[in-house]
Structure 1
């Protein structure tokens, strides 16, 4: 889940929605696995130069520390992720979101054949970035590939180059359909989201309808009257069963969420020269 808008308490995002991320950690409806109990993480922007992150290997539904801080953290930009491991260890450094400088990154999906292609991917990283690689997941390596290919300058092009590189390496090693991903990344002002897979059958991703339109459609829903006009959610699964509240991000698309100028465009990987 990614949130952008007026400053809001983390508990209003994590615990209060009807089908909150905490509920989804036990009862996912659209995910690859029903239960996502291999750790969690949240990231937010506050007073510091870098975003803060809080991660744990505990299941999200069972972590009292998360509930404690959620009632105290108020932020205009919030990332949250629940993890179901695709093979790498359950450890704090493998929990999302990943952070580098001002950037946060979350990935839902898998780089297939990662064990076989990991060396080729890691050796392609910018040597200056390599010491900051903390965990062992394909998701973090994909993030560092995007950083290597210029995430800070042009996020959509950088991710396209990273995905194109992974596909090229994967196919050279006999891996069919190497990439399965929905991704959200931010530098604290805009949020970029991606929905793509090599086989064009990508896991679910939704963005919220403009709040003013939702208020007109559902004047009886009190919570909508407390959200600012620039509020946007991007989620793997809808947080509430509310008619016309959620819009599916189309297959093979990238989008940007920023104040007054949301955008969706086709996404196509850029293969190596």
Structure 2
């Protein structure tokens, strides 16, 4: 699907999402052009979101950007984005062809730096808007699926970080979208086994420093919002538009996987991969 074929932005405000985020891939851009300069920049959204369940996203923030090295740089803090003068200074000075930025409204996990997005591992970065219902009952069996290296890399307590590590476990480096599909399918199967039902909402962006990926999906068809727009010689993906230009922003449909690469933007259908008998869960489900 080409960008021109996206449906126009809906005018009805959404009331589904928690955090807010923005991501960009294209010719190098100063971070401030998404983070602080637009009329409805990410910093503005941190205290005045218009398409979110709550208007305030003040439980920390983070940015991850790619430059001359394979692994991303990262800056995170627990301060509200609007009150950190360092964030505006960094955003004004850092110019990058690919970056992720996030402001947090916590739905689980304490307000601490290692719970702030984006999360990074090697060359990969990841940020998420959404939640897993009943996560505390699923956390231990999810952690048990990780090998020692990835288990020891877990620094925080959020479902978001654990989903990122599970995607790495399931082959994110080799097949990014397929690994996310397997990760979500495994969680759905696990929730059905442990809880008897599943409610998962997942709108995420992730990158290896070459391509930018995003997924919008929910088991109840109420996924947190995702919009796309050309910005300069690149594309921007956001939780909500950065300005009031309705024609500039297209809503990405629920059940979609987005890839932004050197040849432009592509949107494809997304659905979880259910495990077959040949690929059983590798963990015993606690009673």
TM-score (norm. length: structure 1) = 0.91
Q: 1:234 aligns with which of 237, 241, 244?
A: 237
Residue 82 of structure 1: aligned partner: 103
- How far does residue 243 in structure 1 lie from its aligned partner after superposition? 3.2
Say whether the 8 Å CA contact 2:235–2:265 is kept in structure 1: no
1:272 is aligned to: 275
Can you give the 5+ residue segments of structure 2 that lack an aligned partner in the other structure? Answer: 1-21, 277-287
Task: State yes or no: 1:9 paired with 2:30.
Answer: yes
1:19-49, Cα deviation, whole Å (9 max, x unpaired): 1001100011111221000000000011233
RMSD (Å) for aligned C-alpha atoms = 1.2
Confirm or deny that 1:97 pairs with 2:118.
yes
Deviation at 1:175, TM superposition (A): 5.2
* Structure 1 match to 2:250: 247
The offset of 1:94, in angstroms, is: 0.3
Does residue 193 of the first structure (1) align with residue 196 of the second (2)?
Answer: no
- What is the aligned partner in structure 1 of residue 281 from structure 2? none
How many residues in Structure 1 have an aligned counterpart in Structure 2? 255
Partner in structure 1 of residue 165 of structure 2 = 144
- Residue correspondence of structure 1 range 119-130 to structure 2 within 5 A: 119-130=140-151
Question: 3-state DSSP class of the match of 1:244?
Answer: helix
Q: Cα–Cα, structure 1 residues 3 and 175, in superposed 2: closer, same or farther, change >3 Å?
A: farther
Q: Report the Cα offset of residue 173 of structure 1.
A: 1.7
Matched, 1:257 2:260: yes
| Aligned equivalents of 2:196, 2:260: Cα separation in 1 | 33
1:15-94 to structure 2, matched below 5 A, reads 15-94=36-115
Greater mean alpha carbon deviation, residues 15-24 or residues 255-264: 255-264
Q: How far apart are 1:65 and its partner, in Å? A: 1.1
8 Å Cα contact 1:122-1:141 kept in structure 2: yes
Offset of 1:130 from its aligned partner? Answer: 1.2
Pairing 1:163-182 to 2, within 5 Å after superposition:
163-174=184-195, 176-182=197-203
Runs of at least 4 residues off by over 6 Å: none
CA contact 1:177–1:197 (8 Å) conserved in 2: no
Stretches of structure 1 that go unaligned for 5 or more consecutive residues are: 212-226
Deviation at 1:129, TM superposition (A): 1.3
